[in-house]
Structure 1
Amino acid sequence: MAMRILPWLSVQPSIGEVLDDVRSGKVSTEEAWMTAHMGAPRLHTDGGVRLHRTDDRVTFQAAHPAFHVRGSGRNKFCVATASEMPIPLRATCVRIPVAAGTLPGADPAKETASVLALGRAGHVERYATGGADGRLYVGIWTHAAPFAAPIACRGHVADITSVRFFPSNEVVLSTSLDFSARIFSALDGSNPRTLTGHSGALHCSAMLGRGKSVVTGSSDGTVRVWDVGRGESVSVLDMQASSVQALEATDTLVAAALCNGTVQARDVRTAREALALTPPGSPLGGAGALDTLALCTASHRILTGSRSGVCTLYDLRDCTSPLAAWWRNGAGTCGLALDEASALVATADGLPDVADV
């Protein structure tokens, strides 16, 4: 199956502030730049989109003949390139953030990405976010104040690499470069369990079923299965790679994305290999380590994301060839979410996108 090379659209990162200025009446008209490319050539315009306020309403218009722009909501607009341009960009929806802020635990002085998880049970939504030097926080999520009243979860002494909510939404599992995983209460930040045994930094974790057992992946090339109640490792899966970068799991299956560019899945009851995948490499050359995984059990699909920007979708029932593979640019994938209809892809260049799968 051939990889699709998709056109890429990027918009001025501060366009949300531009929209706020126009909407508040500080200015009546303002422009923001846009860039479109498909590998090469690249089309960049200083004024790609014009925001104009009339009668308490903001309209979106093209500010350059290379683009067609139409508004489709209060915080979104659609862009296409002119038919005579060499970059065939069909109508693409651009969503503008409704709020922005700094995650608790982030350290602006360090080039270390924070990690974020959201959990929901009933009407209560919670967030957990971690950053450099072991800073980890949990709290109640609201749209009005997304990261208000953070509760500190203390114990880790090195950068947080992943955080997940248990199904109850009241407990979180975190991993760190300090060789440990910890279980914290999302209600008060207490730390009832610390999981140690890996001989390298931990990068990822996943829940087995309802969370009575969890798995962790490490730079030591192994995945450990833990009994949460006892706080003990019950088995070790040797992935025969120098590092395990991402994990996803069902009740009995754990899939690991590895730094050698492959995916291995094991049956946790028998430790036997259930499947092995080798996603395609970047059009620029090289396989690229796999850094992210997403799993949708309802559609039996698994999605991989590589450090070189390639996303590959498989059907778990027949992995002989991918269902789809696509690449936009060389920015690595740093987060994935998958449901039956779409894939949300977070990228290292700060421009997440949604793909119809």
Structure 2
Amino acid sequence: MSPLSTTVPLFSIQPTFLDVIANVQSGNTQKDSFYISCFVSNKSVHGTVDVYRSGSEVVARGKDGFDVQVGNHKPTLTVSCPELNVSNVLIKSPKSQITVHNPNSIETFDISPQGELYVVGGPNGELSLSSITDDGAFTRSLDGHLTYITKVLFFPSGQVVLSAGGDMQIKLWSAADGSNPRTFLGHKRAVTDLAMISRGRNFLSASKDGTVKLWECGSGSLMHSFTNPLDIPIEPTTMAVSKRYDGISAAPSSPLEFETDDKLLTIGYDNGDIAIYGLSTKNVLASIPTKSVDSEISNIDVVDDRIFVARGKNSEIWDLRSLTVPLETISLPSPVVGMGASAVDSVAFATQIGTPVVFEDHKVSYYAAGFGDSTIIGVKNRSRSDGIYFAGKNGSIKRY
């Protein structure tokens, strides 16, 4: 069976386009306009959309290559760009927005599995934990990192948080009282990523020192250091833990390893290489070398046995269930800066240009508008009921 291949267009829309529609809907103005662009591979079309009232209805009229319709309820757009063979794509506004406390700038974020808390890390070691449901009435400042935060991660319980930074430290925090009962030391350069193993008695950290380390939380012990299979000086940029697709398992090598026997560890490197290990055996099961320049692995996310990998300057997203070749390739005209997958066959991603994309059942489901010019720094894809969260560098977190 040939692998699936999909080329996904990207859209860039004037940051205030929702305000333009709202102003016409409310009668504050009779007519206004906003710009819109569409990118497919190395081609692009740039146009404008006029918005005006016709009786009781709000009408959108696309110009310069676009056909546009405005939704009747919460602002949505249906857009076609015939010149690029793009038809009837849906652009949605956010369902809700989190007002981030201390929002000067954020580098990383996470949402608790229960959907009650969020944690954000900033460029100067700032780390704060807040509640979502009561608009941040519960807020804690977690002080201890010396420089920029690279990754934050909730434990499955939602009561404990891990953080990592450019100061080479990994810290464990209590969400209840903000205490820091343990700090994990051992990396020699900045930590680039964290990954949880099942309930969190073990976790993994990746670093620019070239290693991925396996830790035990209770004792703080370093259990193992993974180095790249070719033993060359490349840096792990991202990683993820997934279930083994073949059902093969092996007993953990230490009594301080928990639930590693049926897991895979997938690591992406700054040169585009990918390595897949059996987590309990520490053996390399697959090694996929880079085949092009500018192919850094930017993101890896997993759902059960599905491994999604984003790579390359002009990005591709791979579904790597076979471990050796992609079963599906999603091609984009801009590098991926954030990606999240969920168990409902959905992968959401944000790129350097354009609005974020939600991809379901092998096609674009919708585009997530409303960020304006803020750079997206992360994606959390939960479920259809909880929604998909995108976070902007300017401190905005929006749910779709």
Matched, 1:353 2:354: no
Asked if the contact 1:104–1:130 (Cα under 8 Å) also holds between the matched residues in 2, the reply is: no
Shift of 1:51: 5.8
> In the alignment, residue 67 of structure 2 is paired with which amino acid?
H
Q: Which of the residues 131, 134, 139 maps onto 2:130?
A: 139
Identity, % of aligned positions: 23
TM-score, normalised to structure 1's length?
0.85
Matches within 5 A, 1:100-119: 103-104=100-101, 106-108=103-105, 114-119=107-112
> In the alignment, residue 307 of structure 2 is paired with which amino acid?
I
Matched, 1:71 2:60: no
Superposed CA offset, 1:268-309 (max 9, x none): 22211122234765xxxx242111111010xx2111112514
Measure the CA separation in 2 of the matches of 1:70 and 1:96: 14
Name the counterpart of 1:206. Answer: 195
Give the match's secondary structure for 1:133: coil
Asked if the contact 1:265–1:274 (Cα under 8 Å) also holds between the matched residues in 2, the reply is: yes
Name the counterpart of 1:15. Answer: 17
> In the alignment, residue 95 of structure 1 is paired with which amino acid?
K
Give the match's secondary structure for 1:187: coil
Q: Which of the residues 92, 95, 100 maps onto 1:95?
A: 92
Superposed CA offset, 1:31-63 (max 9, x none): 211001324442111x225264865xx735223
Name the counterpart of 1:294. Answer: 301
Q: How many residues align?
A: 336
Matched, 1:320 2:324: yes
> In the alignment, residue 334 of structure 1 is paired with which amino acid?
G
Asked if the contact 2:315–2:335 (Cα under 8 Å) also holds between the matched residues in 1, the reply is: no
Shift of 1:23: 4.2
**For the aligned residues, what is the CA RMSD?**
2.6
> In the alignment, residue 356 of structure 2 is paired with which amino acid?
P
Give the match's secondary structure for 1:132: coil
Measure the CA separation in 2 of the matches of 1:63 and 1:350: 18
Q: Structure 1 residues 20, 326: CA separation in 2 closer, same or farther (over 3 Å shift)?
A: same
Matches within 5 A, 1:22-33: 22-33=24-35
Q: Which of the residues 266, 288, 301 maps onto 1:255?
A: 266
Name the counterpart of 1:234. Answer: 223
Matches within 5 A, 1:115-134: 115-121=108-114, 125-134=116-125
TM-score, normalised to structure 2's length?
0.76
Asked if the contact 2:272–2:296 (Cα under 8 Å) also holds between the matched residues in 1, the reply is: yes
Relative contact order, higher structure (CA 8 A, sep 6+) = 2
Matched, 1:48 2:43: no
Name the counterpart of 2:150. Answer: 161
Matched, 1:329 2:330: no
Measure the CA separation in 2 of the matches of 1:190 and 1:351: 38
Shift of 1:193: 1.2
> In the alignment, residue 262 of structure 1 is paired with which amino acid?
D
Segment drifting more, 230-239 vs 160-169: 230-239
> In the alignment, residue 22 of structure 1 is paired with which amino acid?
V
Asked if the contact 1:133–1:158 (Cα under 8 Å) also holds between the matched residues in 2, the reply is: yes
Matched, 1:223 2:212: yes
Give the match's secondary structure for 1:17: helix
Give the match's secondary structure for 2:218: coil
Superposed CA offset, 1:44-98 (max 9, x none): 11x225264865xx7352231622222344131210123xx2x111221111235
Give the match's secondary structure for 2:124: helix
Q: Structure 1 residues 104, 275: CA separation in 2 closer, same or farther (over 3 Å shift)?
A: farther
Shift of 1:139: 1.1
Asked if the contact 1:116–1:128 (Cα under 8 Å) also holds between the matched residues in 2, the reply is: yes
Measure the CA separation in 1 of the matches of 2:8 and 2:159: 40
Superposed CA offset, 1:230-266 (max 9, x none): 1121111112452111121144322111111022122
Matched, 1:305 2:307: no
Measure the CA separation in 2 of the matches of 1:225 and 1:346: 29
Name the counterpart of 1:264. Answer: 275
Measure the CA separation in 1 of the matches of 2:289 and 2:85: 30
Asked if the contact 1:336–1:346 (Cα under 8 Å) also holds between the matched residues in 2, the reply is: no
Shift of 1:338: 4.1
> In the alignment, residue 153 of structure 2 is paired with which amino acid?
R
> In the alignment, residue 48 of structure 1 is paired with which amino acid?
V
Measure the CA separation in 2 of the matches of 1:106 and 1:40: 35
Measure the CA separation in 2 of the matches of 1:48 and 1:331: 27
Measure the CA separation in 1 of the matches of 2:290 and 2:88: 29
